[in-house]
Structure 1
Amino acid sequence: MTPIKVGIIGCGNISRIYFTNLKQYPEVELAACADMDPSRARAMAEEYGIPHAYTVEELLADPEIGIVVNLTIPQAHAPVCLAALEAGKHVYVEKPLAVTREEGRQVLELAASKGLRVASAPETFLGGAIQTCRKLIDDGAIGRPIAAVGFMLSGGHESWHPDPAFYYKKGGGPMFDMGPYYLTALVNLLGPIRRVTGSAVVSHPQRTVRSEPKRGEVIDVEVPTHIAGVIDFENGTVGTLITSFDTPVGGTLPNIEIYGTAGTLLVPDPNNFGGVVRLRRQGADAAEEIPLTHGFTDNNRGIGVADLARSIAEGIPHRASGEMAYHVLEAMHGFHDASAEGRHYEMVSSCSRPEAMPEAAEAK
């Protein structure tokens, strides 16, 4: 296939891995970058050998750019996506799809009206570890899934991130920052969600930055920082998900564990592409490590952009779909709504499980 030209908008902390990896996928050609700070775009273009360092407006006006990769902060996700779609570009956006459900719907509706595609991070579910888990479940290794648990426990980002304030503003918090990895992995493994409930709290109304260059700055917290959620999947599986920025010493609980009628599956960190997969079969004395059956086990961020480009060329559905990203966005809001209103939140949206990745001989 002829590579589709890609332009990156947003040259911040996460962009480096995209600049590195997008130059390696044959489905795409990294042609331009842009940032609100033009000097940052120029620096990235020079460092990574990108032909054009544009303003945002210039990138959107370039007729050769077919896909915009939106790596802006969450509050800018929807506005940048909408502008790119209006300019006739397909979009791949970092998680979450948008800050609000209304914005998320606007993005999907505009894309549909223009015959364009929206894809969204996280794409880690395309990696070898979670795809191996997907194969085990689909092959019946644990029987019928009954329950699932997930835990993301941390002390927050103010101890290490150079500019952590946005993690505590609308569109941030542990659910919106890390929940997409867990929920996307679970939807890929178990299918869509029927309803959610939970409890959400702001444990500390202010946070003090301990990292450079903003050490000592005080952040007013706008979003829950500890969320304990319950998920009812459409297939009958019941899930439990805890995400927290209030546990500075972490814990000993698994990232994700799935319990079935014939076994238990230990799923590695969904923020990574690789990891150790363990399966305890019914009647076995202990869990066994399962060799990975799929490739892409390094930090392969950008693979979702390549999958989008390939799917556009072949006229088939792409895997990291906007519909799944919206479904995850709705579920994350549902946890907050359920806690605030003391009820179950019934999901309005649904989505298809993405097609499994092909097995790869080079898997390791």
Structure 2
Amino acid sequence: MGEPLRVGIIGCGVISAQYLETFDRLAAVRLTAVADLDVARAQAVAATREGVFAGSVEELLARDDVDLVVNLTLPAAHAEVASAILASGKAVYGEKPLAASTFEARGVLDEAAARGLAVACAPDTVLGTGIQTARKALDDGLLGAPISATATMVTPGHERWHPHPDFYYQPGGGPLLDMGPYYVTALVTLLGPVESVVGSASRTRSTRTIGSGPRAGEQVDVTTDTHVTGILRHSSGVLSTLVMSFDAVATSAANIEVHGETGSMQVPDPNRFSGDVRLKRLGADDWEVLPVSAGYVDAGRGYAVADLALEPGEEPRASGTLAYHVLDVMESLLRSAQSGRSEQVASTVERPRAVPLQELERRD
């Protein structure tokens, strides 16, 4: 293996801990710099890691020991920060969504193309053994010709645990834009791009009460829909039904199920990297757990950065183009919910390359 990819992080909030754990253990990447609007937070991260610079965003972007920057800012800032990263001559890996809108996301991709720089984006959970084993089962024909899928995410709301949940209940938030990227990315990885959607949406309450942290008991206004459902028609003809809710309590259904002519498959939580894939074959009495057969073993958030580092000449599996298509699908679904009409999805994408079963090299 050549020299590791030198990585910086902008945004040292809660989610950064998971990326840091990944970068600390993988040989393919080396953390060289961290930055945050609150420089003290960046300094706290760097203090526990030898040779890691901590400072402002501007200072990080000016450094010549950073090849790629991981953008962990708030969704509303994703496009602005990504553009600044690209302008500094560095590749970018963003947390989901790629941007707050497809208009902003298109600007990021066009700028990257003009500069010859890579753009990749979360979620990379689809690179783990859970989704990849399910994909291999499909590719190996264990279900026969795929017919349909269901994807369900039900929770009573993030305000129950998140100390600052405001943005989840504002335009640009809601269950679809927050959690939908995991589910739609998984569906595209499994079944290919989406060509049209029909959607409907609702909200049950006008306010939410914060349940934890220093603002516990404070109410926040709800100005976006909190329950979204829709039907996605994939270019292959497969129909996927999507339910994303911050209103309901729980579900007993599998997170994702895929149905084919000769089998049905339960797919693990797409917000996780692993989990059992269960198959019910036509005529069988019981479900069977399929052996792990594909994907990165013991993966964690940030594995897409290592994936990009190991195959620099290839389109990233968690590409910006994929993230753009997923955002386009979700925006189209929300437009359909408002218009009451079927909406065509303007973009498309190649189904990402499968991940063979493998373990990445660890640091000594």
Q: TM-score range by the shorter chain?
A: over 0.9
In structure 2, relative to structure 1, the CA distance for the partners of 1:258 and 1:50 (3 Å cut) is farther
Contact in 2 for aligned 1:90/1:117 (Cα 8 Å): yes
Q: How big is the shift at 1:316?
A: 1.5
Q: Which residue of structure 1 lines up, in the alignment, with residue 246 of structure 2?
A: 245
Which string of whole-angstrom CA distances, capped at 9 and with x for unpartnered residues, describes residues 305-341 of structure 1?
Answer: 11122222xx122100100100000111111100101
Percent of pairs with identical residues: 49
Q: Which residue of structure 2 lines up, in the alignment, with residue 296 of structure 1?
A: 296
Q: Which residue of structure 1 lines up, in the alignment, with residue 126 of structure 2?
A: 125
Distance 1:49 1:161 in 2: 32
| Residue ranges of structure 2 left out of the alignment (5+ in a row) | none
Which string of whole-angstrom CA distances, capped at 9 and with x for unpartnered residues, describes residues 117-140 of structure 1?
Answer: 110000000000111001000000
The yes-or-no answer on 1:311 pairing with 2:311 is yes
- Give the residue type in structure 2 aligned to 1:360: Q
Contact in 1 for aligned 2:133/2:295 (Cα 8 Å): no
Contact in 2 for aligned 1:129/1:297 (Cα 8 Å): no
In structure 2, relative to structure 1, the CA distance for the partners of 1:100 and 1:273 (3 Å cut) is same
Q: How big is the shift at 1:295?
A: 4.9
Partner SS state of residue 264, structure 2: strand
Q: Which residue of structure 2 lines up, in the alignment, with residue 335 of structure 1?
A: 333
Partner SS state of residue 23, structure 1: helix
The yes-or-no answer on 1:139 pairing with 2:145 is no
Q: How big is the shift at 1:49?
A: 4.3
Q: Which residue of structure 1 lines up, in the alignment, with residue 355 of structure 2?
A: 357
The yes-or-no answer on 1:57 pairing with 2:53 is no
Distance 2:51 2:202 in 1: 44
Partner SS state of residue 353, structure 2: coil
Map 1:170-185; keep pairs closer than 5 Å.
Answer: 170-185=171-186
Distance 1:220 1:91 in 2: 33
Distance 1:202 1:311 in 2: 44
Q: How big is the shift at 1:286?
A: 1.4
Which string of whole-angstrom CA distances, capped at 9 and with x for unpartnered residues, describes residues 168-210 of structure 1?
Answer: 2232111011100000001000000010111011221211111
Contact in 2 for aligned 1:294/1:361 (Cα 8 Å): no
TM-score of the two chains, using structure 2 as the length reference: 0.96
In structure 2, relative to structure 1, the CA distance for the partners of 1:297 and 1:200 (3 Å cut) is farther
Contact in 1 for aligned 2:298/2:359 (Cα 8 Å): no
Distance 2:329 2:225 in 1: 15
Which string of whole-angstrom CA distances, capped at 9 and with x for unpartnered residues, describes residues 41-64 of structure 1?
Answer: 111111344611110000111122
The yes-or-no answer on 1:228 pairing with 2:226 is no
Contact in 1 for aligned 2:297/2:357 (Cα 8 Å): no
Which string of whole-angstrom CA distances, capped at 9 and with x for unpartnered residues, describes residues 191-230 of structure 1?
Answer: 0001011101122121111111221222122221100111
- Give the residue type in structure 2 aligned to 1:355: R
Distance 1:350 1:102 in 2: 15
Distance 2:298 2:217 in 1: 35
Distance 1:54 1:102 in 2: 31
Deviates more, 1:21-30 or 1:267-276: 21-30
- Give the residue type in structure 1 aligned to 2:275: G
Q: How big is the shift at 1:287?
A: 1.0
Off by >3 Å, runs of 4+ in structure 1: 47-50, 295-299
Q: How big is the shift at 1:343?
A: 0.6
- Give the residue type in structure 2 aligned to 1:339: A
Partner SS state of residue 160, structure 2: coil
Distance 1:251 1:11 in 2: 33
RMSD (Å) for aligned C-alpha atoms: 1.3
Which string of whole-angstrom CA distances, capped at 9 and with x for unpartnered residues, describes residues 228-265 of structure 1?
Answer: 11100000000100000001x21212100000011001
TM-score of the two chains, using structure 1 as the length reference: 0.96
Q: Which residue of structure 1 lines up, in the alignment, with residue 268 of structure 2?
A: 268
Distance 2:35 2:170 in 1: 24
In structure 2, relative to structure 1, the CA distance for the partners of 1:49 and 1:227 (3 Å cut) is farther
- Give the residue type in structure 2 aligned to 1:145: P
In structure 2, relative to structure 1, the CA distance for the partners of 1:50 and 1:233 (3 Å cut) is farther
The yes-or-no answer on 1:41 pairing with 2:39 is no
Partner SS state of residue 334, structure 2: helix
